[in-house]
Structure 1
Amino acid sequence: MSQPQPLVYITGASSGIGQALALHYYRAGWRLALVARRTAELQTWAREQGLAPERFAIYGADVRDIAEITAAGRSCVLTQGLPDVVIANAGISIGMDTAEFEDLEVMRALYETNNLGLAASFQPFVAAMNARGSGRLVGIASVAGIRGLPGHAGYCSSKAAVISYCESLRGECRPHGVQVVTILPGYIDTPLTRKNRYSMPFLMQPQDFASKAYSAIAAGSSYSVIPWQMGVVAKLMRMLPNWLYDKVLAGRPRKRRQGE
């Protein structure tokens, strides 16, 4: 009796990195469980790509809504089975200025989406994967989580939290045979990055990122920076003393705030 095709569950699947990962996994023979707020757009995209209806399902949920996103995970298990890979990809990137009162709400949105939303995306699957003794939980962090960038306090700190959270979860799941993979994208050409007003070295196309991420996830890499050149930059950034790091960033344009 043939084994069923493996299943990958991806949040934030309606655009950018999530969409590129979905298409790469599909072409590699996987079944897809796709989560997004904009389900109509996702349906249109799936139809345009010619995805076979029996190989994918779409779940509507906002990761900031704990009830919605955990319900989507439970529905996936009931409808398609327990995934082999869960990719918590949904995230937002907005600049903020702590001097501006309204930007505290921006920070709340960043944390609710990038951190609480990530944990809630994993929650329906952790116990079942541990009981099964296999599976991969993938957190999409960012190179921006390694050191703080001016005007980017909310995003950088949220992605630093993703890195630490996934490291903690990795230690919890390892005894059960479940792997936790942290992916740190550099600059990827997506709607999130096209609004940036500063240089983006080693800018990568989403499909190229998806190919590299697929390999890292398949290998069970605990921590992977993509592209590799940004990994080198990240190591150098970590090594710089504060006075030199501050000097390097002096005059760097700030991340655009909401509405700019």
Structure 2
Amino acid sequence: MTAPLVFITGASSGIGQALALRFHQAGYRLALVARRTSDMKSWASAQGIGADSYQIYSADVSVPESIMAAGQDCIARQGVPDVVIANAGISVGMDTAIRADIDVMARTFATNNIGMAATFQPFVDGMVQRRGGTLVGIGSVAGIRGLPGHGAYCASKAAVISYCESLRGEMRPHGVRVVTISPGYIDTPLTRQNRYAMPFLMQADCFADRAFKAIAAGVSYRVIPWQMGVVAKLLRLLPNALFDALLAGRPRKRRQDEVQ
């Protein structure tokens, strides 16, 4: 029998790379999307992943035609995946008063939202015809309440959660699962730029293991780690005045001019 196939965007680092390794360990063939393809080959070799177990696709997720072409290429070379993980995302602080940061917001939505839908698009018909498959959207606990200085990212991840919920209802009659995974703080190059406390910080490999189990179980929505899910729910219940006071003076996400 042919091993199952997982298609992962943003696979060159952080959560995406950890997920790729976890799925490989579970016996999956890998379809890995990244802009730095040479880095991916070096990583796969270092992990002892055989060349017949993976394919690498170069694509810019923020450009719909680019990521959709990668999806079509995957179908032609490896078949329709069993699992598609739209993981690629960017997180940059913004200040609405600064003109350049409006472009930051547009780029964030192009990657985190339009890019997610474009990642799924090539595979929907094949999964529907097969009456099986799982589409996974990587959200964030930051999508549950807006954080000062983090408007672009919080808004984009709130949109991810709502989009996946809508898609789940559309795919359910066809036997296709839609899973939303909302990470808390995971130790990755993305979060190491943060200049504020990150409670319940989790290592990427531990996150990947828990996410793999949630995806395999077909859960509709999961916050990882669960402690951040509790924190997020409590924050959601806070009256606005209390929430605003709690976050007053909190260090903001680094803007693009401040990223080191």
Aligned-partner Cα distance in 1 for 2:189–2:66: 25
Deviations, residues 133-162 of structure 1 (Å, cap 9, x unaligned): 000000000000000000000000000000
Matched with 2:188 is 190
Matched with 1:158 is 156
Deviations, residues 1-39 of structure 1 (Å, cap 9, x unaligned): xx2110000000000000000000001111000001111
Does the alignment pair 1:107 with 2:105? yes
User: Equivalent residue of 2:197, what SS?
Assistant: coil
Aligned-partner Cα distance in 2 for 1:49–1:212: 20
User: Equivalent residue of 2:186, what SS?
Assistant: coil
Find the partner of 1:134 among 129, 132, 135: 132
Matched with 1:254 is 252
How far off its partner does 1:48 sit?
1.1
Aligned pairs for 1:64-213 (under 5 A) are: 64-213=62-211
Matched with 1:53 is 51
Please give the root-mean-square deviation of Cα atoms over the aligned residues, in Å. Answer: 0.5
How far off its partner does 1:167 sit?
0.3
User: Equivalent residue of 2:149, what SS?
Assistant: coil
How far off its partner does 1:259 sit?
2.0
Deviations, residues 25-76 of structure 1 (Å, cap 9, x unaligned): 0011110000011111111111111111111000000101111100100111
Deviations, residues 171-218 of structure 1 (Å, cap 9, x unaligned): 000000000000000000000000000000000000000000000000
Give TM-score, length-normalised by structure 1: 0.98
- Aligned partner letter, 1:161: A
Aligned residues: 258
How far off its partner does 1:131 sit?
1.1
How far off its partner does 1:237 sit?
1.0
Matched with 2:239 is 241
Which consecutive unaligned segments of at least 5 residues does structure 2 have? none
User: Equivalent residue of 1:115, what SS?
Assistant: helix
Which consecutive unaligned segments of at least 5 residues does structure 1 have? none
How far off its partner does 1:238 sit?
1.0
Aligned-partner Cα distance in 2 for 1:142–1:197: 18
How far off its partner does 1:127 sit?
1.2
Aligned-partner Cα distance in 2 for 1:133–1:28: 23
Aligned-partner Cα distance in 1 for 2:209–2:107: 30
